[in-house]
Structure 1
Amino acid sequence: MSVVFLSTGPPTVNVEHLDALAESYGVSIDAREKEHYLHLLNGLDATSNAITSLPAYTDPRLLPAASTLPRTYEKLSGKPDKNPLNTWSHRTSITASNPSDVRLSRKTVVFKDNVSIAGVPLTGGTFPELLVGKPDYPVPGIDAVVVKRVLESGGVVKGSANCEHFSMSPLSFTSASGPVHNAWLKGYTTGGSSSGCAAMVAASQVRAWRKRHGLSSPSPSNNDEEELGESVDMAVGGDQGGSIRIPAAYAGIYGLKATHGLVPYTGIISLVPMIDHTGPMTMTLEDNAMMLGVLAGWDGMDPRCTPETPLRQNVPDYLGLLEAWRAEKDLKGDWTPQMAGKGLRIGVIKEGLEVVGLTSEVKSVITAAAEQFKAVGANVEEVSIPMHIIGPAIWTVATRPYMVEHGLQNRVTPYLQYAMPDVTPPVLNQKAFDLLNKHNPAVANMFFNSAFMNSKPDANQALAKAMGHVQQLRDAYDEVLKDFDVLLTPVNPKVGSKHPEYTMDVGKKMEPAIGATLNTCQFNVTGHPALSMPAGWGRTPDGPGMLPVGMQLVGKRFDELSIFKAAAAWEVGGKGLDRWNGQINWTASRSSVI
């Protein structure tokens, strides 16, 4: 291999620098050889400077379409009169004048605030000093691929939704902008880290649910705008350990973590590429299927895509196929509350109902959901996958060594990609630690976790072993999925709790999140698709109200259609949010916690 170094100007690397580099490896260089190594280092430095001096290149495929310009925005964080649930980060309204199709025509869509929207500030749920080392947030010049596809399909981009600090919380009180409230019960978690996305879609769900059940807003003025604020039809969230599915469960909406690599992640702040997912969060199952068809397909830029990722023209019409399957069953007389699930095979993961912290309230809802699958004619069996219990440990060890380097410092991976050049977090120092410790100690803990894992003498061997067990875990699910269409687990281990009181006690801020991902993070490392959907209601553990409980349906990789079929058949027996006995005074419950 030949290497060519550009050499211009006087040398900048001196002997002291060379000695320091050598010492970092615990080696010494003979004085007679230093001249040669200095020459090579100075050549490299000159070459590096030549590249650094070049103007930045932006892939034209990511530039905003001219028909969507100019763009304006309004910052809504910190404006409770316009943003009562603190769901919005920045509001805008962007449409394409000549969309290529109309699948999302007039549908309003918001994006998690780690997704690039050209001309709109990007926060990542944190402070600008921690994201870019400056007092102002970066303003991207590109549209993430998911943004472009929503616009190309006729959707209305309404802006960015608040998210948790660096996407590192399964609950919704860590954002730099303050807590994001559950649309069903203000003051309670709506889940994270796609918290604003979930609550904003849920606000639309609340309005539709109340209308269906003849209930009104409990606000003093009986005005749900004052109570809920502006809402949207759909959202695009992000999921590295459950951050689409967990908030979808707490919020009573539908959230899909599609197969890894099916929906391009280009233009979105990463945590670790192996577990990065983005996907649809919607009011209905049908909207979720439709939106997946819009978002999915190879983009030619995301290294997370694989040879299994379909080209855009080969992406299944998930909604059309679902409707055709439903129509075929209806023609046979099978689309009934007794027969809709006929032919479907549902595996209830035994270990999913044994995770630490799973409450009897949630377990009873999931048990009832499994019974409903039986009632609609599906074949339901309990199945044991012992590795499911150790899955979170595998996820942890396989990702912790990279989490700071890639997720908190945006270190570019050695794969061709759009590298988010505007995200330039500084190195952790005392000032940064104090901010993190105050607002989200989980992020500060991640710095310590990553440094600790990488400092261990057997760090590489431990990581290699964890990677091997990722494959073993994937194989374990694949083996069981040979006999089942979908697997069933709970999503949230307990009914949503109140936001913790503001305190400097790290334990009180960390404790509520413990165990939240024990049924979700496994499928981030294995890459299987997983849908969170509302299965019923549970009483809150610390108040008089009720909040949604979600169930998770997991399918074979790149077989999202089977998940949609199973979910649709289950709902013929009654939708989760309509499993309501009508005896609870919702208005009183709500007013008592506001």
Structure 2
Amino acid sequence: MSTSDSDSAVSLSGCSSPRPEETKELTLDEFRRIVFKHGLSLKPQDEEEYLFVVRDVEKMVEYVNDLPEYIDPRLVPSLQAQGRTYTVQSRDENPLNAWSHRFELKDTKAISAGLLRGRSVAIKDTVSIAGIPFTLGTQPYHLSKSTPYPIPTIDAPVVSRILAAGGVVTGTSTCENYCMSGLSSTSATGPVENPWLRGCSSGGSSSGSAVLVAINAVKSWHGKRGLPIEDLGEGADFAIGGDQGGSIRLPAALSGTYGLKPTHGLVPYTGIASLHPLIDHCGPMASSVRDVALLLSVIAGYDGIDPRMTPESPLRRAAPQYHVLLDQATTARQLRGEWTPSTAGKGLRVGVLKEGLEIPSLSPDVATVIRKAAQRFEDLGATVTEVSVGHIHHDALAVWAGVIRGQMHEVLLGNRAPDLLSHPLPNLTPPVPDQKWYETMTVSNPAVISALLTGSYLADTKRFGNGYRGKALMHAQQLRDAYDTVFEGVDVVIMPTTPFVAPRQGKHAGGGEGVMENFRAQAHLASNTAPFNITGHPALSMPVGWAPVDGGGEGKLPVGMQIVGRRWDELGVLFAAAAWEVGGFGLDDES
């Protein structure tokens, strides 16, 4: 058989679909370049036969590529998707730039009986909602070749569950460009402003979600003190955020609200834009501990689709009702007279992470607030001790990079599907990055360019081989084991969420900052948050006090404390947070 006869030969695949006219079959020259790339030399007969086999696989791939998309019935919108309408608000209506698109979705039957009972929910603009543009915080035509933004045909499970629980989805929240920033000045629509002090970052990448749940708290805080309340726009009772390196907890800390990164695999990530399956988390954000627990009850549990979920993940019908369990735990303490400022922490073992207070760029003022928060636990009757996992906590950012950086650009920029059975995002057809894309992104968010270039470099197997990622995964397991060992002696571990309070907004969204200035602005920001994305432990950020802005000047901004618990023990984390607040809410202490 000669290579010219291969089309008439019997196909090994059995696929007989016609080849699209615009698709060219693999040529002999192209095949030889592949062989040369691998440093091989084929005999003529072998060359012909291997080329035939490769072309046969090519036919199979082309056949599948020409099939229509399959949409899992579990992702079909429970409410009518046709005719869903939305608006993009003016800056007067959306003064903090926290909303991406406004609309209202609700199940009128569920509102009267569901857990959320008509309360409002904002959804991060990385989550599929049928009929609503999906922007990922980036510019038009970055995610779709044919339309400014893709329009999903599915509702992500977290959205369907919120609607079934009587929640009213009132819009999508602004997020950072490709979700690649821990600050809040990279979105294509402009900076997301901190509700406590405009001109300062609200944190990212779930920037809009944090701001929207903080708005009502800011208004209430000012109102109680008789202070003027500026126009912050409309907020939301709850929000959904996403977290791959701290993107729920960082904005919660900088915006003075509550955000939980659940245990990896507790909340389904199906229908949500991914950075990498190993670090993808979706979780609740709200203005109180109990509301975080309530929304977690609504969204937790296996969806039957997401490969991030494991045999440890609870089935949907068996998922804990965290708000009920939290209420039961606090009520039991109250009945025993142990829910007081001197007894609420009785029996609770709290570890203060030594390495968490040694991270680079840690503000002395932030460290003081966290030490004071630890003392609060002791005053409440808890046992407080210093704990340590050694230097591996400081190695975690390098391990995080080794695990995902070689693949993240393909997932983030190419919608690469997970390697396990899953339901990739439909309707997402990002074009290949080009010079125009580069010129836009190097101004808007250089971290995205870095992801592309770094990932391409790490793909050089002659330079790196494949072993570096395997070793990184080993050390990710080592980090998990180190924390699991710590949790044999304590119930929760605390540390600063961020090394400093909200910094002033960067200029890079307007083109005024260079590449390195962009990276310096958030250096070390995720030192205490990213480790738990690769270990999978649940971690909550809550406001526990105030620290000066940029070391002084205009006033103070909130400080977030991170409470980390055993994997699958979200209740323990939430209980510790609730107990701490028996001594008073963190933002009520203005000392």
- TM-score by structure 2 length? 0.94
Map of 2:359 onto structure 1: 355
Following TM superposition, by how much is the alpha carbon of 1:431 offset from its aligned partner in structure 2, in angstroms? 1.7
The 8 Å contact of residues 99 and 153 in structure 1, kept in 2 or not, is answered as yes
SS of aligned partner of 2:141: helix
Aligned to 2:486: 480
Report the CA distance between 1:183 and its aligned residue. Answer: 0.6
Shift of 1:51: 1.7
For 1:163, which of 146, 156, 175 is the aligned residue?
175
1:108-507 map, 5 Å:
108-217=120-229, 219=230, 227-386=231-390, 387-455=392-460, 457-501=463-507, 502=510, 503-507=512-516
Q: Which runs of 4+ in 1 moved over 6 A?
A: none
Q: Cα distance 1:52–1:69, how it changes in 2: closer, same or farther (>3 A)? A: closer
Instruction: State the alpha-carbon separation in 2 of the partners of residues 451 and 45 from structure 1.
Output: 24
CA distance in 2, matches of 1:66, 1:321: 31
- Partners of 1:97 and 1:24 lie apart in 2 by 61
Q: Residue 61 of structure 1 aligns with which residue? A: 74
Partner SS for 1:74: coil
CA contact (8 A) 1:88 1:162 kept: yes
For residues 29 and 345 of structure 1, do their structure 2 counterparts lie closer, same or farther at Cα, with a shift above 3 Å needed? same
How far apart, in 2, do the equivalents of 1:240 and 1:3 lie?
A: 42
Give the corresponding residue for 2:544: 535
**Does residue 6 in structure 1 map to residue 15 in structure 2?**
yes
Residue identity in the other structure for 2:498? N
Shift of 1:102: 1.1
Alignment check: 8 A CA contact 1:68 1:97 kept: no
Tell me which residue corresponds to 1:590.
none
Distance in structure 1 (CA, Å) of the matches to 2:116 and 2:32: 60
Distance in 1 (CA, whole Å) between partners of 2:39 and 2:68 is 38
Inter-CA distance 269–349: structure 2 relative to 1 (3 Å threshold): same
Is 1:36 the counterpart of 2:49? The answer is: yes
Gaps of 5+ in 2: 1-10
User: What amino acid does structure 2 have at the position aligned with 1:126?
Assistant: T
TM-superposition CA deviations, 1:546-585 (whole Å, max 9, x none): 211100000000000001111111000111111124xxxx
* Worse-superposed segment, 539-548 or 259-268: 539-548
Q: Is the 8 A contact 1:128 1:134 kept in 2?
A: no
Instruction: Tell me if the contact between 2:506 and 2:513 (Cα under 8 Å) persists in the aligned partners.
Output: no
The worse-fitting range, judged by mean Cα deviation, of 304-313 and 412-421 is: 412-421
Q: State the partner residue of 1:86.
A: 97
How high is the sequence identity, in percent, across the aligned residues? 46
Q: State the one-letter code of the partner of 1:160.
A: T
- Aligned match of 2:530: 521
Distance, in Å, in 2 between the alignment partners of 1:43 and 1:427 is 26
Which of 537, 559, 566 is the matching residue for 1:556? 566
Q: Give the gaps of 5 or more residues in structure 1.
A: 220-226, 582-594
Cα distance in 2 for residues equivalent to 1:429 and 1:310: 43
How big is the shift at 1:487?
Answer: 0.3
Most deviating of 395-404 and 126-135: 126-135
2:4 corresponds in structure 1 to none
Segment drifting more, 421-430 vs 171-180: 421-430
The answer as to whether partners of 2:123 and 2:172 remain within 8 angstroms in 1 is yes
Kept after mapping to 2: 8 A contact 1:361/1:495: no
Asked if the contact 2:350/2:382 (under 8 Å) is kept, the reply is yes
> Using the alignment, how far apart are the partners of 2:561 and 2:299 within structure 1?
23
Aligned alpha-carbon RMSD (Å): 1.7
In the alignment, is the contact (CA less than 8 A) between 2:366 and 2:499 conserved in 1?
A: yes
Q: For residue 523 of structure 2, what is the amino acid of its counterpart?
A: I
Distance 1:434 1:170 in 2: 21
Please report how far the alpha carbon of residue 8 of structure 1 lies from its aligned counterpart in structure 2 after TM superposition.
Answer: 4.9
Which deviates more, 45-54 or 558-567?
Answer: 45-54
550, 557, 561: which one aligns with 1:547: 557
1:9 deviates by 4.9
Give the equivalent residue in structure 2 for 1:96. Answer: 107
Q: Is the 8 A contact 2:122 2:173 kept in 1?
A: yes
| CA distance in structure 1 between the aligned counterparts of 2:165 and 2:469, rounded to whole angstroms | 42
The one-letter amino acid of 1:298's match is Y
Task: Determine helix, strand or coil for the equivalent of 1:128.
Answer: coil
**Aligned letter for 2:102?**
R
CA distance in 1, matches of 2:356, 2:582: 25
What is the TM-score when the length of structure 1 is the normalising length? Answer: 0.93
- Native 8 Å contact 1:164 1:175 kept in 2: yes
